Amino acid sequence: MIGTNSSRDFPLASITEFNRTFLRVPPETDCHPNFRIFWDYWKSKFRGEQFPGRRDLDPLDIPLLLSSIVIVDVERDPYRFRYRLTGENISIIHGLKLTNNYVDELRPKLLSEVSQADLVELVEKKKPQFVELNFENREKVVRSYKVLRLPLATDNLIDHIMVWTDYQTA
């Protein structure tokens, strides 16, 4: 469980290699149940066919998910993605507080480049993403990191991305 481990056990900056797999959305019932709760919450906030906006969300609706939630601001021309809000578990995973930092500033650089490309694709295609990342750190410990990224929009323009993560030993 993320909350019971120290940051030195889980820093993503120590990744030496990884592979990424895009999973089906909505999340299957055989994965962590919080993915489905997160998905259902997001879907419940739709206005007709329009994505929900940041203003439609109330953290009190999903208190059990808050420690692993991230809200990312979308900037354009050029695309940049800034961490607006990061839950406590996210800080543990990364070994630092990400709030107000940009995705393209993450280390290792390969991880930031892949994450940046995924977020650009999400914004341009206007489609949620469910991604699994398997990696081995410098200590040769294999980890699995799943992330569900959901677009948020104002006037049908994606301006935020809401993310929920599950991070564990593979």
Strand-pair partners of 130: 23, 148
Give the pLDDT confidence score for residue 63 in this predicted structure.
Answer: 95
- Per-residue model confidence as pLDDT tens for the chain (170 residues): 222 233 334 445 455 567 888 888 888 766 788 999 999 999 999 989 999 999 999 988 999 999 999 999 999 999 999 999 999 988 887 777 889 999 999 877 777 888 999 999 999 999 999 999 887 766 777 778 899 999 999 999 999 999 999 877 54
Residue 128 preceded by cis peptide, ω within 30: no
pTM for this predicted structure: 0.85
**Of 146, 107, 120, which is closest to residue 22 (Cα–Cα)?**
146
Give the pLDDT confidence score for residue 56 in this predicted structure.
Answer: 96
Contact 158, 51 (CB under 8 A): yes
Give the pLDDT confidence score for residue 96 in this predicted structure.
Answer: 79
Give the pLDDT confidence score for residue 30 in this predicted structure.
Answer: 67
Domain annotation for the chain: domains and CATH numbers: 2-169 (3.30.450.20)
Question: Residue 47: CB partners within 8 Å, gap ≥ 6?
Answer: 56
